Every structure is written in structure tokens, then in C-alpha cells.
Structure 1
Amino acid sequence: MADGGQSSLDSIWESEDPIFANKELLDIDHIPDEERIIGRDDEISDIANSIHPAIRGGKPRNTLVYGKTGTGKSLVAKHVTQSASEFAHQEGTQLQRAYIDCTQSTTETQVVVNLARKFNDPEVTDISIPVSGLATDVYYNRLWQILDELHDVVIIILDEVDKLQDNDILMQLSRAAEAGKVDSCKVGILAISNKISFKESLDERILSSLQDREFIFPPYDAEQLQEIMRHREDAFREGVLAEDAIPLAAGLAAREHGDARKALDILRNAGELAKDNGDEQVHEAHVRDAQEQADIDRFSKLLEGQPTQTKAAVFALSILARQREDGEASTRDIYDQYEQVTAELGIDALSQRRMADRLNEQVFLDILGRSDRVGRGRGQGMTRYYHLLEEPTVVQTAIQTDSRFADLSVAYS
């Protein structure tokens, strides 16, 4: 920097964002004012009625909420429980809520640790909750002590509850009072799942405790998606959004079962592209380019934390999917391609059975689809076929954000 001059960084810090006025409004995790929550009046009322007893110290009803990704389940659950907590405090009730993302906290111990840390006030309870190092039973005991000492009622939101490795935590929480674990605190569970088949995996005792109420959130239509984005249009500076930007983003997201999360991702990414290009407006071209980036971001998040072997198996399927009109491949064909991928990565290949186990895990996580076909002719067995739930190029781009996969040449063989 020249003497007496201003650094280029200073000019960046002092400048205003030319595209966004309040980008936080486009974050799906942002809890907006109720008037910005579109098309979910009935669902808000349903969940509010379900937890209503908690306002004055009663036990909220345990509730299961189903719906596809981006249908507002998490948003409504957070909004209603936040409002309930605020109103309860005015009534003199110590009602607290905790939100757990079960894609991040997948084990019983992780959930208990997170709950204990969220509900605790160590200056009052003198109870410490280390991140690790204690037995699960010890963590439970400390959680129960915290709940009775600090809270009249707690509502626990378990988002994407189907991602839990086991359901023991549901048993413990739903039957805490019945089992004498808590004396005074009332515990309510609001479990959210993208899979309506989730309840089929539950033990009958858990199901009877949890299924007090059950609600299904329908997908948004294109008109509702437009209205959602119109209500967050002030995320952008005035005049920045071209007239066709929101209708196009809504139409693209409506193809994906009415996914509001994707609609907002597309709009935000379109703004980022316009900003990076130095453009003054967000146009149709930005929106179309942003759709692909939103798909890549979504798939990257789905694969986040997955082992290299799992990514290699999915990558192998993506290669075959690009070569085939129907996009499907048998376990045997995937394994042959997988061996090429692992060889180029310089890692040992798993057995075909173990690779298939990895693929089946991805079916459960809604990353892949699967179908079984019975062979023709005498003595023919069943062949399992897999297909991607996203475009092969999107899958490959997402996986290649992992540096180990960045230079794979077999993707184009």
C-alpha cells in the first residue's frame, strides 16, 4: 500500500453490497415473522394446538411430522416452539426448546450430550457436560437433573429423526416421566422426518408414546413458491431482481416436489452469481446457472462426511449413469467400474458385498434409488439395480469437490 493511500481491503470493507440488502432472509434456517411463512396456516395451528398444554406447565403432546424436503416442516416447528417459549415465559412457565439436527447428531450419546448442553446453565446447576468421555447413562442422569432443576417444560425437536442410528433415545425421552427419570419437568418430542415409512421402523412402545399426533406437510405449488420468495424479496436491494427471476426460480423448484429450500437456494445463488459477475441485476441466465449450483450444493451436503469408499461407489454409478439411457446399473456392473475408480484413487477395493452395503446405505439416505428384477428362465435369481436421484454431472461435480476425486479421469471413460 502506498504511503497515505487506502488499501484495497479498506475500500471493500467500506463498500455496500450492490445486490443484497439482507441476505439472511434467504437462509432456510432463518425463522421469519409469521406473515412471511406462506401456505402453512393449518400446519402452524395443528402444531400449536399439539403443544398448547406446555404454555401453562402441562405436558405437550408428542408429535410426528412428515413431508418431503423443503415443505416447511423445520421452519414451522421452530417458529411455533419459539413463539410458545416466549408466551410461556410471560405466563411464568419455564418452557425451553432444543433443536437437534439428526444428520449431524446420529447416535444416542451425541443427542443426549447436545440436549444436556443446550438445556444446562452450569452457573446455576454446577453440572458440567463434557463433549465426550462419559458413559451414556451418566449423560442421561445429568440431563434429567438439569431438566428438573431448571425447567418446567421442554420441547425437543428432532429433525430428520430417521437418520438416527437407533431409536433408544426416543424411548428414553418419551417415557422419562413414566420411568421416574424426571420428577417435575414435562418432556415433549416433536419428531420430523422426510420418510412417511419411518414409523414402520419404530418399536410398538415408542410408537404408542410418540404418535399422539401425526401431521403431513404437502408440497408447495409454483404459486406458493412465488409468494414465499416475494415475501423475502427485500433480501435484495430495490430494483435488483429482474421481473422474470422469481417466477423462473419458483417454476424450477416446483419441478422438485415444491421444494422451498431449493427455491431460496436458487434465488440466493443467482444473486451471488450476479454479484461475482459485476452485474447490476439478477436475470434469467443467473437463475438457470444457479439451479445447477443449488443441486451441487444439496448433493454435497448429502454426501458430507461420507467415507471415501462410499463416494467411490456412488461415483462409479455416476459414470455408468452417464453412459446409459435409463441411468440404471446392476451391482455387478457398478462393482467393475468401482474397481477402476479405487485403482485410480490408489485405495483398496472392498468386496462386492461390502460395496453393495455402502450403496444400500445411500438408498436409505435418499441419495440413490434401487429396484430388484427377477431374471428370466429357469434358475435365474434376482438382480439389484441402482440409479441416481440427481443428474450424473451434478453428482460428479459434488463428489469432485473432495480433492481426492478432483483429477479422476475415469469419469469420462
Structure 2
Amino acid sequence: MDDESGDVAAEIFGKPDPIFEQKSLVDVDHVPQPERIVGRDDEIRALSMQLRSAIDGGSPENVVIYGETGTGKSLVAKHVSKVAESMAEDVRIGTAYIDCSDDDTETQAVSHIARKLNNEDQTGVSVPEMGLSKSVYYTRLYSILDELYDVALIILDEADMQADDGLLMSLSRSRETGKTDCRVGVIAISNKVRWAENLNDRVKSSLQPRELNFHSYDANQLRSILEHRRDAFRGGVLEDGVIQLSAALAAQDHGDARQAIDILRNAGMLAQQQDSETVTEKHVRGARREAEKDRFHDLIGGLTIQKKTTLAAVTTLHKQTGRDEFPTGEIYTAYTNLCQVIGVEPRTERRVRDFVRNLAFLDVLDARKENQGRAGGITIYAGLQPAHDLEIVHEIAMTDDRFADVDDSETTVSK
């Protein structure tokens, strides 16, 4: 049996991939060449204008870039910064890209920035990944900046995930406070349109950011993006209409380029699994569901069990009642029933309202307040956003092992 299994593996590994030629071109994290960046000329031009002074050794503007997931924010920020760095002749420009969903504390972020910008052979400065205090990491970062750069462009992706505003305050005031002679420009990226409005007033005053808004791609732009990835596949394996359908489905949902690419890639994978010689529209429709599941898994898969239970309570109420929204009191009843079934200690109703607000912040739920009058006070209503697939969100919300034996009927709201 072992020999047969080895032969099967050798047979698979020994054959060329029947579907993909350069599969990396449809990896979501693949950074395309400049000629493959589609539909973002205006945004590239606008960001370049804000950073133009960096080329001459001046201070670049601080910029906040808004837009939904998959609208090219990170791609454009990286591209423009790289071009600025390459075109500076007598000015030393350094760039650092930080994902704040990974480095969500100030200490983690400044440590990562310092490591990105450092060249220990030239500076003699050591920057360990951990083990130093925040102030020491800043001291070493400023030493690196003064030694190596005239201008530093620091991209903070998902900047709203930072625990507080300390990083923005320190970076935006670093030259003003005499910590470094290097001119530091911050490019903060967020999916939340109103995120910068909630920054500390001192930070807003120091940062004084220019704002750029990235709109969702339309179907034609998404189709062009996918056409630029066509050579990921072997010639002739994509049936007519596959790229158009992948783009149209993504445009209907979110105008998300990542989703469009993910749908096309998963369609190819599905064709592979089914030993098909071509990728068809049927594969695309099957892949769309998998892409949506992947998107929600990334969005809510890492939530705490308490937040997952809150979300599962809401999706179960949708499934049972067919209604669009529910008062938080009703959600709380379903939540406590579900907690009892899975053996989790329920939190207070006030805390569950906080969970609902957090899920609304993540754009998983819709939430609104309704004034019930002097006697009734304020009631919060919440429900799943209409654009989301109820079955998919419910499935992902209940991925924790503690939900394995749960029957939806067990979370029925008490009458």
C-alpha cells in the first residue's frame, strides 16, 4: 500500500500542471508589474503629487488612504513609494511597509519598521525582533534613519488595527521634536472611511493628513485586471466567458479585485480537482462560493468564542425567523441559549452589545439605534448585512470545535 501511494504521488509530481502555467500570477498576495496595475492611474497620480517633494529631499505629505478591501490601496502605495525611491538621484529614500493587523502594538510596529530600514553592516545597529523597550526601539530607529536616509516613507496598512495613536504621533513629530533629521512621511491605509476622524486631536494636528479615497472597481476594470492574469493558465484551458463571469460576480458583490482573482484561481483549482481539461463557467460559480467562504474566514475566523457566539446567535435568528434585524435583547436571549449548549460562560447583555458594535465595525453586521421615546429609551437593532450570504457567514461563525454538535433549533429565542 505504501509503495502504491508513493507511486501515485510520484505520478502527480512528475506531470506538468494541466491547468496552470504560472500559478503565482493568481496568488492574492502577488504584486504585479506596473504595466499590470489597472484602473488606478488617477490614484497613482494623486499619491505621487503628495509625495513629490520627497524626490528633492523635502518633507512628503502624510496621507490617509481609504477604500474597501481589494481596491488597490496597498498596491498603489507600494508602487508609488518604490518609484519615488528609484527615481531619487541625490536623495536617499527608504521605504517600509508594515501590516498593522500583524504588528498591532506600537512596540511591535516600531521594531518592525527599524528592522525593515536597517542595514546593520552600515549602521552597526542591532534590532532584535523582541526584547527591547519601546523607547529603545525608537532610539535605534532614529539612529538608522540619520545614518542611512534623507527621507523615509512608512506605509501603515490597516492602520486602524493599531491599539492606540502612539505610533502616528511619534512618527509624525519625529523631526519636529529633534529625534531625527530624516524627513518622515506616513501613508496610513484603512478600510474605515471615518477612521481618521476618531484620532486624538493632537495626532490629527501633528499628522495633518491628505486624504485619498479609493472606489471599488467596476466590472470592466475587474475584467481587465483578470485579463492581465490570463497567462497564469495554460493556453486554451479557459473557456470563453470565464474571465467575464469572474469579473461580473466580483463586481456584483464588492468590486473587490482580490475576490475576482480568488474566484478565477479557485475555478482553476476546482477544474484540477475534477480532472477537467478546461475551466468552465460552472467551475467559476462553484469557486465564487469558496472565495466568499475564504473572505469571511479571514474576516471572522480569528474572533473570540464570545464574538463568534454572538454572531452565530444573529445568523441563527435570521435562519429561524426570516426577519432582517433583531433588538439586542432578542439577540442576547439567543446568545445565552447558545452559550448554555456549548458550555461557555455568558457575558452580560451590555458586553454583548459591545460585541455587536464590534461586528458592525467589521462590516459583518448592520446596527442602528432607535429612540423608543422617553419611557422606552434607546434600542439597538442588528442584523446581517444584506449583501452577505447567510449560510456562509453562519458556517464560518460556527467553525469553533465547541459548535460541532450544535443544532440550530437549540438556540430558539424563548417566548
Q: Normalising by structure 1, what TM-score?
A: 0.92
User: Which residue of the partner structure matches residue 150 of structure 1?
Assistant: 148
* Secondary structure, aligned partner of 2:19: coil
1:43 equivalent in structure 2: 43
CA contact 1:61–1:212 (8 Å) conserved in 2: yes
Distance 1:409 1:274 in 2: 34
Shift of 1:27: 2.7
Distance 1:136 1:5 in 2: 53
Which string of whole-angstrom CA distances, capped at 9 and with x for unpartnered residues, describes residues 23-55 of structure 1? 222233322122211111111111122222223
Amino acid at match of 1:262: Q
Q: Counterpart of 1:97?
A: 95
Provide Cα deviations, 1:38-91, integer angstroms capped at 9, x if missing partner: 111111111122222223433222111112222111111111112222333xx2
Q: 1:219-278: per-residue Cα shift (whole Å, max 9, x none)?
A: 211111111111111111111111111111111111124211211111111111111111
| Whole-angstrom CA distance in 1 between matches of 2:92 and 2:372 | 62
CA distance in 2: counterparts of 1:309 and 1:3, whole angstroms = 47
Select 2:381's aligned residue among 379, 382, 385: 385
CA distance in 1 between partners of 2:61 and 2:405 (Å) = 53
| Structure 2 residue matching 1:306: 3-state secondary structure | coil
In the TM superposition, what are the counterparts of 1:163-202 in structure 2 within 5 Å? 163-183=161-181, 185-202=182-199
Count of aligned pairs: 409
The corresponding residue for 1:70 is: 70
Task: Sort the Cα spacing of 1:41 and 1:351 in 2 relative to 1 into closer, same or farther, 3 A.
Answer: same
Q: Which residue of 1 aligns with 2:24?
A: 24
CA distance in 2, matches of 1:397, 1:315: 9
Structure 1 residues 163 and 92 mapped into 2: Cα distance closer, same or farther (>3 Å)? same
Is the 8 Å Cα contact of residues 338 and 410 (structure 2) preserved in structure 1? no
Offset of 1:133 from its aligned partner? 3.1
Relative to structure 1, the CA distance from residue 2 to residue 214 in structure 2 (aligned partners, 3 Å threshold; closer, same or farther) is closer
In 2, distance between residues paired with 1:97 and 1:373? 47
Kindly provide the CA deviation profile for residues 366-386 of structure 1, in whole angstroms up to 9, marking residues without a partner as x: 22220112236x612221111
- Contact preservation (8 Å) 1:70, 1:262: yes
1:82 and 2:77 aligned? no
The alpha-carbon deviation at position 92 of structure 1 amounts to 4.6
1:236 counterpart residue number:
233
Q: How does 1:119-268 map to 2 (within 5 A)?
A: 119-183=117-181, 185-268=182-265
| 8 Å CA contact 2:94, 2:151 repeated in 1 | yes
Does the 8 A contact of 1:103 with 1:163 survive in 2? yes
Provide closer, same or farther for how the CA distance between residues 3 and 411 of structure 1 changes in structure 2, counting only shifts above 3 A.
closer
**Residues 312 and 398, structure 2, Cα contact 8 Å, conserved in 1:** no
Cα 1:144–1:412 shift into 2, 3 Å: same
What residue ranges of structure 2 are gaps of 5+ in the alignment? none
Matching residue of 1:323: 320
What value does the CA root-mean-square deviation take over the aligned residues? 2.3
1:403 positional shift: 2.9
Structure 1 residues 326-379: Cα deviation after superposition (integer angstroms, max 9, x where no partner): 431221111111122222222211111112212212222222220112236x61
Task: Tell me by how many angstroms 1:304 deviates.
Answer: 3.8
Aligned twin of 2:106: 108
The Cα shift of 1:135 comes to 2.3
Contact 2:370 / 2:379 at 8 angstroms: preserved in 1?
A: yes
Show the counterpart of 1:277: 274
Q: What TM-score do the two structures reach when normalised by structure 2?
A: 0.92
Instruction: Report the Cα offset of residue 212 of structure 1.
Output: 4.4
Query: Kindly tell me: are residues 2 and 102 of structure 1, through their superposed partners in 2, closer, same or farther at Cα, counting changes over 3 Å?
Result: closer
Q: Aligned with 2:185: secondary structure?
A: strand
Distance in structure 2 (CA, Å) of the matches to 1:107 and 1:363: 23
- 1:115–1:143 contact (8 Å) kept in structure 2: yes
Which aligned pairs between 1:333-348 and structure 2 lie closer than 5 A? Answer: 333-348=330-345
Letter of the 1:82 partner, please give it. Answer: K
Structure 1 residue 123, shift from structure 2 partner? 3.5
Deviations 1:164-193 (A, max 9, x none): 22112111111110011112x221111112
Q: Is the 8 A contact 1:43 1:217 kept in 2?
A: yes
- Range 229-238 or range 336-345, more displaced: 336-345
Distance across 1 between alignment mates of 2:123 and 2:367: 50
State the Cα distance separating 1:129 from its structure 2 match. Answer: 2.8
Cα distance between partner residues in 2 of 1:340 and 1:370 = 22
* AA of the residue aligned to 2:281: E
Paired amino acid for 1:106? D
Q: Write the deviation string for residues 103-133 of structure 1: whole angstroms up to 9, x where unpaired.
A: 2222222211211221223343333333333
- How many Å separate the matches in 2 of 1:101 and 1:130? 18
Gap runs ≥5 in structure 1: none
1:146 corresponds to which letter in structure 2? Answer: I
Contact 2:62 2:187 in 1 (8 A): yes
* 1:62–1:209 Cα contact (<8 Å) kept: no
Aligned-pair distance for 1:6?
7.1
Change in Cα spacing, 1:3 to 1:371, as seen in structure 2 (3 Å) is closer
Secondary structure of 2:68's partner?
A: coil
How far off its partner does 1:14 sit?
A: 2.1
**Residues 145 and 287 (structure 1), Cα distance of their counterparts in 2 relative to 1, 3 Å cut:** same
1:62 to 1:2, Cα distance in 2 relative to 1, 3 A? closer
Larger mean CA deviation between 171-180 and 3-12 belongs to: 3-12
Q: Tell me: CA distance 1:10–1:352, structure 2 relative to 1, closer, same or farther (3 Å).
A: same
Q: 1:111/1:246 Cα in 2 relative to 1: closer, same or farther (>3 Å)? A: same
The C-alpha deviation readout for 1:274-314, integer Å capped at 9, x for no partner, is 11111111111111111111111111111243211111111
Identity %, equivalent residues: 46
- 1:125 and 1:322, CA in 2 relative to 1: closer, same or farther beyond 3 A? same
Structure 1 residue 4 displacement after superposition: 12
